[in-house]
Amino acid sequence: MSPVQLVMNWLAVLGAFIAGGWFTGWLWHYIAARWHKDQKVPPWAAWTARTFGGTLFALIVYLIAFGGGGPGFGGAGGWFSGSPTYGPTTADGKEKPKAAGKTKDRDEKDEREKKKPATGSGDTLQIELLGDAPLRRMFGEKFDHARRYRVKGSPDPITMSELKTLIREKLEADPPLAAMELVVYKDSPSGPPLKELLAHLRDIGAERLRVTTVEPDKNAP
């Protein structure tokens, strides 16, 4: 019991003694006036009645205030107590201690897992952004300008539409795609091909895919 609660309980006991003494004294004089109209009540009898009544009221409030260990007057099992105990109890009637925050800890852990970025699971997809020079070496002057994204492990570059489909399939795989590495060479284009890809990766969100950019100090091989 906290010091504040202890003081409040003792004040309640004192108040009960005063109220009980006043009420008993009033009741004593009322009864004496009705039954013994011509006789004066002796002062000692009135004070005895007040003391007895105040003590009785104070005792009742004391039992209510200090009768248990729970919140409120009388504790968990007393009068005017706080919330009732519904959990399992021991042989002496006390509530069994609950597991220390297992449910709360589990909920918080699940919430953290939901917010955790997708790192450390699945593959890392490496994409090279190719400029005109390497594409001419590979396909000649009539190369396809839309095919500028070369996936690691695949010899032929693909279009932006095909790359989006590939990323979506890998994100839906089990385990899902966790990270993507974008390789931008010195001769890689910095206009729409790069901007469109970065915009798409931003739409996916960092909570689903970790993206890193590598800029080698050389032209594409």
Tokens coding 112 = 């953290």
Query: Nearest-CA neighbor of 178 among 210, 145, 134?
Result: 210
Q: Which amino acid is at 154?
A: S
Structure confidence by residue, pLDDT tens digits, 87-113? 555 555 555 555 545 566 666 666 655
What mean pLDDT value characterizes the chain? 74
The predicted structure's pLDDT at residue 117: 41
Task: Decide if 125 contacts 149 (C-beta within 8 A).
Answer: no
∠ CA 18-21-23, rounded to 5°: 105
Cα–chain center distance at 38: 75
The predicted structure's pLDDT at residue 93: 54
The predicted structure's pLDDT at residue 83: 43
Beta strands in the chain (DSSP E): 124-129, 149-151, 179-184, 210-214
Residue 139 has pLDDT above 70, yes or no: yes
Structure confidence by residue, pLDDT tens digits, 33-50? 666 655 666 666 667 777
∠ CA 41-42-43, rounded to 5°: 115
The predicted structure's pLDDT at residue 120: 39
Q: Which amino acid is at 109?
A: K
